[in-house]
Structure 1
Amino acid sequence: MNAAAAEAAALTARDAYGRLVAYLAWRWNDLAAAEDALGEALLKALECWPQDGVPAQPEGWLLTVARRELLQSARHQRLVQRLADDPLVRGLLPREDDAAPEPFLQVHPIPDNRLRLMLACAHPAIDQSVRTPLMLQVVLGLDAQRIAAACLVSPAAMAQRLVRAKQKIAQAGIRFEEPDPADLPPRTHALLEAVYAAYGLAWERLGAAGEEAIISAELTAEALYLAELCVALLPDDAEARGLWALLLFCESRRLARFAPAPDGGERFVPLHEQDTARWDHALIARANALLCDAAALGQLGPYQLEAAIQSAHAQRAVTGRVPWGGITQLYEGLLQIAPTLGARVGHAVALGTAYGAAAGLAALDTLAEAEVRNHAPWWVARAHLLEQQRRWHDAAAALRQGMGLTEDPRLRAHLWVRLQALQAAPVTDTPA
Structure 2
Amino acid sequence: MIAVAGISYYSAGFDMLAKYAGLAEEAASGNSISGAFTGIVWVSTCNRVEIYADIPVHCRKRAERLMLQQFGLTEKTEGFYIYTEDEAILHLLKVAAGLDSAVTGEDQVLGQLKLAYKNAVTANLTSPWLNRIFHKAFETGKSIRNLTDINKGHQSIASIAVALAGSFVTEYPAESSNGVLILGAGETGALVAEILVNKGFSNISIWNRSTIKARKLAVKLGLNVVTTDQLEHSYRTSSVVMVAIRNKEPLLNYGAERTAPSAKRLVVDLSMPFQVADTAENANNYVYNLSHIAAIRKETLEKRKEAIDDAMQLIWSAMSELATWKEDQWIGKTLQQWKLLMQQLKERQVRDYAEKHPEVDSATLSRFGEELSANILRQLAWSIRQQQKDGADWNKWSKLLANVEPYEQLN
Same fold (TM over 0.5): no
Higher CA-based Rg: 2
The two structures have a TM-score, normalised by structure 2, of 0.24
Higher relative contact order (CA 8 A, sep 6+): 2
The two structures have a TM-score, normalised by structure 1, of 0.23
Q: Which structure features the higher share of helix residues?
A: 1
